[in-house]
């Protein structure tokens, strides 16, 4: 595994739409492993492939309650409720924003074996699903922030 460089706001890669993964190859599994190591080293909750310069639809998320979640080609298939909370990003260090996101989100994705599954999250996990999937479409939380703050 390798720790990857996290791109920062202003890098044009963060504004590009990612390509889907057709087949889960050893290279995609290595990307997942490297992204997990990178996310943990940066003390993050989630990391999307474009944040490490790879324009593929791959996301990793880890929360204390749900543990590690790997998502390939994630797509939000259902959402409900609303939460207004603080949001940060490893690509935007030292800044936080207040955002409105759904309280409950269901995502359909593939795992590292290429199997399709659905997963539902509430609260922090729902916010992380939305945040990381936005990255795959070239969007940042600052695009929807109600207000921004510095650390």
Q: Residue 135: which of 68, 60, 65 has the closest Cα?
A: 60
Active site residue 87: no
Write the DSSP assignment of 4-17 as a string of letters: PPPP-TT-GGGGSP
Give the SS3 label for residue 147.
strand
For residues 91 and 104, give the distance between their C-alpha atoms in angstroms, rounded to a whole number.
25
For residues 13 and 24, give the distance between their C-alpha atoms in angstroms, rounded to a whole number.
22
| Cβ neighbours of residue 12 closer than 8 Å, sequence gap 6 or more | none
* Active-site annotation, residues: 132
């Amino acid at each position: 595994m390798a720790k990857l460089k996290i791109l920062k706001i202003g890098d044009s890669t963060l504004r590009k739409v990612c390509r889907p993964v057709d087949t889960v190859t050893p290279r995609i599994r290595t990307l997942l492993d490297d992204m997990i190591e990178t996310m943990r080293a940066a003390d993050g909750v989630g990391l999307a492939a474009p944040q490490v310069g790879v324009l593929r639809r791959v996301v990793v998320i880890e929360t204390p309650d749900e543990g590690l979640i790997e998502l390939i080609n994630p797509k939000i298939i259902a959402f409900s409720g609303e939460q207004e909370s603080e949001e940060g990003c490893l690509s935007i260090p030292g800044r936080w924003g207040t955002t409105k996101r759904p309280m409950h989100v269901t995502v359909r994705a593939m795992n590292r074996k290429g199997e399709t599954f659905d997963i539902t999250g509430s609260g922090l996990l729902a916010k992380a699903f939305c945040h990381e999937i936005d990255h795959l479409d070239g969007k940042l939380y600052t695009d929807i922030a109600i207000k921004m703050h510095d650390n």
